[in-house]
């Protein structure tokens, strides 16, 4: 399907040009009342989301996203549905043109005369043989007086456009899930490494506490406390291993592969650089052009509106024309003698429903109900999009603040660790105090890693909520090339 890029106004004008009994387009009240700005709006400016994850400067991440966009099975399914919808639109378009059929036939009969009215006439044949050959060409056309065909065609095209937007939505979701799984892997690996280092420190701390306890220099409560901390750290390790396995499995599914096949890429150093720049969210009304799920919902609303017109048109007469021509002869050679054996048939009929048991009225009512459902779905999509952006912006700001606080906490932990190291080297502090400071430092590092992942995922949440075209020009809408006189 060839696609042109048109603004919503141009697309609406093209649809309105069709001969149709469909009601006028109406925007749901909940959409017309959308606020002009977000409650916690970020910096203004044009939102340019194309391949924004490249800002993490991680070639492994870029490669994984590219692989997912090429082979993800959800994308393949969405693309197949879009192709099917495009084919359905072409089927609907075929009704605008005459149907032409060719035919060739032959018949042979050999019947007895006996028992017939002429059987006893002198010289009458005993059997009658009849052999006929014919070639024909028939054409039929329905004049679309009240726009039924054109309305169905426009509705099918809107469905096809919605399916194309669905493909975009699945691509966005797939890329987002890859990025999310990737940062979960990075954090899980760091958490495992930090837990192992903390376990080593706690094991040494436990040994020294046990020695001090045996010498009567430590109480049993201190020993039990240190052992409990060691067991807690050891018990958290399997959970972190499970989290890593789960994240790697999610990533493999997104890439339509098995986890073992990703080892070559995931065995490399995974070093994404965090990005803290604000995301220019623009204005809420831009959601109507940016988010593919909102755009798809609008197209389905248009399709439902146009089908009301198509069902209304069924109440009115349909004018059909038929023409057939060809040749007929008694032998194969004579059938091609068009000058002598041609035939022609012309016909037209005007058909109007008189009584159908309420079928047409019920179809119109069903079409109206479908339109009401689509209108509610469109309003719901806009409300959900607005709320997602509002929540994502707030979450991103909160996670950036949290990361800054943990950075300050890390500086304090580094200072405490350095102080304990200097005190131990100077002989005024014990080694146990140094081990406690080192363990606290590792805990802060683990918290910082988790906070960094949360910042990246919160930034992902803002981009995902804004829903721009990450792979091309944001805000484009789709339509078929040409409108066949609509």
- Please write down the HEC assignment for all residues of 179-224: HHHHHHHHHHHHHHHHHHHHHHHHHHHHHHHHHHHHCCCCCHHHHH
Which of 478 and 200 is assigned the larger pLDDT?
200
- Inform me whether the pLDDT recorded for 9 exceeds 80: no
Is residue 137 very low, low, confident or very high in pLDDT (cuts 50, 70, 90)? very high
Q: What's the pTM value of the predicted model, to 2 decimals?
A: 0.83
Average pLDDT over residues 181-204: 94
The pLDDT of residue 161 is: 97
User: Is 294 within 8 Å of 287 (Cβ atoms)?
Assistant: yes
Q: Say if CB 335 and CB 49 are below 8 A apart.
A: no
For the chain, give the mean pLDDT: 87
**What percentage of residues in the chain have a pLDDT greater than 90?**
62
Cβ contacts of residue 359 below 8 Å, gap of 6+? none
H runs (alpha helix) in 427-481: 431-466
The DSSP letter of residue 273 is P
Nearest to 466 by CA among 330, 306, 292: 292
456 three-state secondary structure: helix
Which carries the bigger pLDDT value, residue 299 or residue 279?
299
Any idea what DSSP says for residue 309?
H
Do residues 306 and 150 make contact, with C-beta atoms less than 8 angstroms apart? no
**Average confidence (pLDDT) over 84-88:** 97
pLDDT for 19 equals 54
pLDDT of residue 124: 63
Beta-carbon contacts of 419 under 8 Å, excluding residues fewer than 6 positions away, are: 437
pLDDT digits (tens, 9 = 90+) for 160-180: 999 999 999 999 999 999 999
- Domain extent listing, the chain: 3-94+150-313+362-480, 96-111+126-143+318-351
Torsional class of 337: left (φ above 0), alpha (ψ -120 to 50), beta (otherwise) = beta
Containing H/E element for 133? strand 127-143
Q: What is the pLDDT of residues 16-48, one digit of tens each?
A: 444 569 999 888 888 988 888 888 766 656 777
Question: Which tokens is 210 given?
Answer: 């046990």
Tens digits of residue pLDDT in 336-393 = 888 888 899 999 999 999 999 999 999 999 999 999 999 999 999 999 999 999 999 9
Domain at 3-94+150-313+362-480, CATH homologous superfamily: Outer membrane efflux proteins (OEP) (1.20.1600.10)
Residue with tokens 């009401």: 372
Per-residue confidence (pLDDT) for residue 165, from 0 to 100: 95
Q: What's the count of helices (H) and strands (E) in the chain, helices before strands?
A: 12, 6
Which residue has 């988010």 as its token pair? Answer: 291
Tokens 């072409």: give the residue: 90
- Report yes or no: 372 and 308 within 8 Å, Cβ to Cβ: no
The two beta strands, 3-5 and 127-143, are unpaired
Q: How far apart are alpha carbons 456 and 273 in whole angstroms? A: 9
Q: What is the pLDDT of residue 1?
A: 35
Contacts of 386 (CB under 8 A, 6+ apart): 34, 35, 38, 284, 287
Q: Does domain 96-111+126-143+318-351 have CATH number 2.20.200.10?
A: yes
Q: What is the pLDDT of residues 395-407, one digit of tens each?
A: 999 999 999 999 9
C-alpha–C-alpha distance, residues 35 and 19, integer Å: 35
Position with higher pLDDT, 71 vs 40: 71
The pLDDT, as a whole number, for residue 286 is 82
Three-state DSSP class for residue 131: strand
Report, as an integer, the average pLDDT of 459-465.
93
Rounded to whole angstroms, the Cα distance separating 177 from 460 reads: 10
pLDDT at site 11: 38
Torsion over CA: 14, 19, 23, 24 (sign): positive
Exposure of 198 in the CB half-sphere (CA atoms within 13 A) = 25
Say yes or no to pLDDT of 188 above 70.
yes
């Amino acid at each position: 399907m060839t696609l042109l890029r048109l603004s919503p106004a141009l697309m609406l004008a093209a649809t309105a040009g069709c001969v149709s009994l469909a009601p006028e387009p109406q925007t749901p009240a909940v959409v017309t009342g959308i606020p002009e700005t977000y409650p916690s709006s970020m910096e203004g400016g044009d939102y340019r989301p194309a391949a924004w994850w490249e800002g993490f400067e991680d070639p492994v991440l870029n490669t994984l996203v590219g692989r997912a966009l090429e082979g993800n099975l959800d994308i393949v399914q969405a693309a197949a549905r879009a192709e099917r919808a495009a084919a359905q639109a072409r089927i609907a378009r075929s009704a605008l043109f005459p149907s032409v059929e060719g035919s060739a036939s032959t018949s042979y009969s050999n019947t007895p005369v006996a028992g017939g009215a002429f059987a006893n006439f002198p010289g009458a044949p005993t059997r009658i043989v009849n052999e006929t050959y014919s070639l024909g060409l028939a054409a039929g056309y329905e004049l679309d007086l009240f726009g039924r065909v054109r309305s169905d065609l426009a509705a099918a095209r809107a469905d096809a456009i919605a399916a194309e937007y669905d493909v975009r939505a699945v691509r966005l979701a797939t890329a987002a899930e890859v990025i999310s799984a990737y940062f979960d892997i990075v954090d899980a690996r760091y958490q495992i490494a930090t837990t192992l280092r903390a376990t080593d420190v706690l094991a040494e701390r436990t040994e020294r506490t046990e020695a001090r306890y045996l010498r009567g220099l430590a109480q049993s409560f201190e020993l039990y406390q240190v052992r409990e901390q060691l067991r807690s750290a050891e018990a958290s390790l399997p959970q972190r291993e499970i989290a890593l396995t789960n994240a790697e499995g999610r990533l493999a599914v997104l890439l339509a592969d098995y986890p073992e096949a990703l080892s070559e890429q995931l065995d490399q150093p995974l070093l994404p650089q965090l990005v803290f720049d604000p995301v220019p969210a623009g204005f809420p009304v831009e959601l109507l052009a940016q988010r593919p799920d909102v755009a798809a919902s609008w197209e389905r609303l248009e399709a439902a509106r146009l089908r009301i017109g198509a069902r209304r048109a069924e109440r009115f007469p349909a004018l059909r024309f038929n023409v057939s021509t060809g040749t007929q002869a008694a032998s194969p050679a004579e059938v091609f003698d068009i000058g002598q054996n041609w035939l022609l048939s012309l016909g037209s009929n005007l058909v109007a429903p008189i009584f159908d048991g309420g079928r047409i009225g019920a179809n119109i009512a069903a079409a109206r109900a479908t339109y009401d459902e689509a209108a509610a779905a469109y309003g719901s999509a806009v409300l959900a999009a607005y709320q997602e952006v509002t929540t994502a912006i707030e979450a991103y700001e909160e996670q950036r603040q949290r990361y800054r606080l943990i950075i300050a906490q890390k500086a304090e932990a580094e200072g405490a660790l350095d102080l304990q190291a200097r005190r131990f080297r100077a002989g005024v502090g014990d080694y146990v105090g140094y081990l406690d400071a080192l363990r606290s430092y590792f805990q802060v590092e683990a918290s910082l890693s988790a906070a960094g992942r949360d910042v990246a995922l919160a930034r992902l949440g803002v981009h995902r909520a804004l829903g721009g075209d990450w792979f091309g020009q944001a805000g484009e809408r789709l339509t078929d090339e040409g409108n066949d006189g609509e």
